[in-house]
Structure 1
């Protein structure tokens, strides 16, 4: 756990308040795993590096360890001699898209996080294949490194008086629906933020899936879509087999 301190904060007082909060819930603070830091010093958490600059502006970027791990995964695929360029592009696309989506609310401008060096290296490897030329290699690069829009600090803030422990399921369900867009967001609003199968509200830590009612995944008409819990989606499809 990381405790962020403002200049006028008393570290011992804050740590005591946190301990009292957790004790009521049967938990306690681990001294070995708890770190007290100033917001202006910066810290790493869940793959991000958080820091409040001297001008008071908040900054968040992918952490150094997270970036190095991601870069190594890309390097392993690009340099693998067992795959052709098309297979490499297919394997890179979900990896790159997932990484960029995870950091979509960070400060991602600059050549480093545009992945220019990785893209340049992958292009040189792809272009060496006999069956490819620079045009086909460029098309594969676009598939391997899909663009994902980002908007710094546009994450959805939790209201100051709300807590996952307050039992306000309606608030957390509505907040969770804002994390989705497109058809999923539309279904959640239409279903009043409830599961279309079981009727229960969606909690913040529950994954929401889109279910195609007629089983046709090419039918994206609003009437054919239903937002359901991940567990409910598995239950709906349980035991279903293809007809021969």
Structure 2
């Protein structure tokens, strides 16, 4: 393990960086070591490796099965902090209108769920949604102590788009304000970096296509490269590093075309090699 630390230190030195001892810890990700559970937390994520069979095992760069797979989830600490924040907001809105409570909760739920949308979060999202429902149910019943459970449910929950339990307002002639659910956030898996690519390798086309931005690439070009997944919309081929690129309008500006990025619109733009 000490050897790994030396390799990382040498790699960082090339960029003028160094490890800070007080914030550096070596940990096993697969097996228990000296009473420490495998895995570690980093930036709110828990990274751990689990034994896996031949069909689900991770592979090395040369295709060899490693016998385990890496699972990244929201850390237990961040799950607890997030739920406590939700519970505190509900508690602070005992006498507030339902719309006010929803308006305060939605940004909290949206931000947290989006942050963890690239890892294994679906089951955790469902768990937190269930805990939130229990807290909201207690909130609703406390407001109407003389009403039965059925009445309370009809007052604060609705059936919307096939979901029979949506915490939402009831307003005649207007769309209901609904509480977001963590589980409604789509999971979009992180795409592994190709080969030995690095943000420091100068491959502007690859990193612009991947991230939609690059300090050495014009912002408009980088955005379009990402939208087009690194391909030319005219010929369908991938751009190369030495291609000269130009932003063209599908409808020329002289004929009414607009300078905007609307996807699927005749006024959107495309990047073409010259």
- Scaled by the length of structure 1, the TM-score of the pair is 0.64
Match of 1:141 in 2: 167
Distance 1:17 1:91, change over 3 A: same
CA distance in structure 2 between the partners assigned to 1:157 and 1:28 by the alignment: 25
Aligned-CA RMSD value: 3.6
Of 71, 77, 87, which residue of structure 2 is paired with 1:59? 71
Of 136, 144, 152, which residue of structure 2 is paired with 1:122? 136
Higher gyration radius (CA) = 2
Of 17, 20, 32, which residue of structure 1 is paired with 2:10? 20
CA distance in structure 2 between the partners assigned to 1:58 and 1:214 by the alignment: 44
- Scaled by the length of structure 2, the TM-score of the pair is 0.58
2:95 is equivalent to residue 78 of structure 1:
no
2:228 is equivalent to residue 189 of structure 1:
yes
CA distance in structure 2 between the partners assigned to 1:129 and 1:28 by the alignment: 57
Instruction: Give the secondary structure class of the aligned counterpart of 1:35.
Output: coil
Of 42, 47, 69, which residue of structure 1 is paired with 2:39? 42
Distance 1:43 1:128, change over 3 A: same
CA distance in structure 2 between the partners assigned to 1:175 and 1:31 by the alignment: 33
Cα drift, residue 127 of structure 1: 5.2
Matches within 5 A, 1:173-212: 173-177=208-212, 188-189=227-228
Q: Deviations over 1:17-75 (max 9, x none)?
A: 21121112111111111111111111001111111013312222211111111111111
Q: In the alignment, is the contact (CA less than 8 A) between 2:9 and 2:19 conserved in 1? A: yes
CA distance in structure 2 between the partners assigned to 1:155 and 1:75 by the alignment: 30
Q: Deviations over 1:66-116 (max 9, x none)?
A: 111111111121111363211111121221122222222224326863520
Gaps of 5+ in 2: 31-37, 53-67, 145-150, 159-165, 169-177, 213-222, 233-244, 247-257
Cα drift, residue 192 of structure 1: 6.6
Higher relative contact order (CA 8 A, sep 6+): 1
CA distance in structure 1 between the partners assigned to 2:122 and 2:141 by the alignment: 28
Q: In the alignment, is the contact (CA less than 8 A) between 1:49 and 1:61 conserved in 2? A: yes
